[in-house]
Amino acid sequence: MTHQFHPTSLREYDIRGIIGETLGEADAYAIGRGFGTRVARLGGSRVVVGYDGRLSSPILEAALVKGLNDSGIHAVRVGEGPTPMLYYAEAVLDVDGGIQITGSHNPANYNGFKLVLQHGPFFGADIASLGAMAESGDWVEGSAGSEQVDIMDRYTRRLVEGFDGKAFRVGWDAGNGAAGPAVEKLVKLLPGEHYTLFTDVDGNFPNHHPDPTEEKNLADLRRLVAEKKLDFGVAFDGDGDRIGAIDGEGRIIWGDQLLAIFAEPVLKDVPGATIIADVKASQALFDRVAALGGKPLMWKTGHSLIKSKMKETGSPLAGEMSGHIFFKHQYYGYDDALYAAVRLIRAASDLGKSVTQLRSEMPAMVNTPELRFQVDESRKFAVIEEVLARLADSGATVDATDGARVNTPDGWWLLRASNTQDVLVARAEAKDQAGLDRLMAQIDEQLALSGLERGPQAGH
């Protein structure tokens, strides 16, 4: 038996597609067969499976489990919950890998799979290998069963293990995503006053889209924080691995700013440690880590790439602009937005300041959000190569870790190719608006030289 995946569904960090168009039950079964075969060949026999709140998730889960079973792999089913709950289960149960069925923050008609093999990220060539195995029918045969394990209570108790924070008044917006029920359990374990929004799981996302990096999706949380005069608010994406936050005045605390807050107590405990952030992060963050005696490390965007770099460098803390925050310090090293929310309470307590004060003390920078523009897939990486070649000739100060990040007296600008979409991503940051305008002009010039223009923005 063989299977052909839709060419768009096997991606760099995960598998994702549109239900009924580019992803369906046959794909889920083939993923179970391929991943199960990889596990079996490594001498393993058990895989934990979880799923988010999308309408298509239970059907995909059943097909995935059948695929695992037909490859002789026993499925440990933890049911519906956030992706970090699946990561937790994979870390603490007697299993050889884990699969979460999730469409993350994509629209409601999408779904996908995030995979972990022997406590490490499964991405890039690993994901591509599932396609090759399916095409040639290179699967082991076997038979096995499954069991249900309820792990949510154990997971939420782990989130507050060692909790040393004070009582704050906090708003929580789960956006009808998979984190909702875990958030309801978590707030009962925390001191203080907690107000929750949209914690019932609904794959239609009736209130707002569960992507906390888009400002419009934070309107309800802002209203709640203002009405109840709360200390701060947190929001989660559809599968609970990315956090959004606002202070008591409703100002957004972006991923790199959260990392600047988290870095201080971590570096108190682990002096001189390496703190990793992706290439889209503010220079203010890297400067802050250095000022606190840490080693700032700029790395490629992508949760799997960051996790691998953390392992390699022994880093206790890493984060991405997109709200993925990874704590190895007192935790497991995966991205968990619920744990990050707990650590925000702990950090504010430890530093003896309100979240609003911590946000106010950050250097004022003028920056763009992430700007995305369509580019033909075949030109995507070529354009970046052309830009790097021109910059090399110009003598500019360039970091080529992931695309081109250029430092100038005004600040910095970034142009990189998305690994997951046919877009180029740009970002710029300066001390003032005039400086930002000059940086944007440099981006426009480079795009024009490669026959592109910034034009209308592509959405997420």
What residues are annotated to the active site?
104
First-to-last C-alpha distance (Å) of the chain: 37
SS3 121: strand
H/E element, 318: strand 317-319
Q: What is the DSSP string of 371-427?
A: EEEE--HHHHHHHHHHHHHHHHHHT-EEE-SSSEEEEETTEEEEEEE-SSSSEEEEE
Q: What is the DSSP string of 351-386?
A: HTS-HHHHHHTSPP-EE---EEEE--HHHHHHHHHH
List of residues 6+ apart from 160 with CB closer than 8 A: 186, 189, 190, 342
The whole-angstrom separation of Cα 66 and Cα 62 is 6
Minimal CA–CA distance to 116: which of 335, 420, 337, 318? Answer: 335
Q: How many CA atoms lie within 13 A of 390 on its CB side?
A: 16
List of residues 6+ apart from 50 with CB closer than 8 A: 77, 78, 79, 80, 81, 83, 85, 86, 89, 98, 99, 100, 101
Q: Where in 34-167 does DSSP place strands (E)?
A: 46-51, 74-80, 97-101, 110-117, 120-121, 146-148
Question: Between β-strands 317-319 and 423-430, what pairing exists: parallel, antiparallel or unpaired?
Answer: unpaired
**75 with 69: CB under 8 angstroms?**
yes
Question: Between β-strands 120-121 and 110-117, what pairing exists: parallel, antiparallel or unpaired?
Answer: antiparallel
**47 with 115: CB under 8 angstroms?**
no
H/E element, 59: helix 57-70
Q: Buried b / exposed e across 119-157, counting CB within 10 Å, b at 16+?
A: bebbbbebbebbbebbeeeebeebebebeeeebbeebbe
**222 with 378: CB under 8 angstroms?**
no
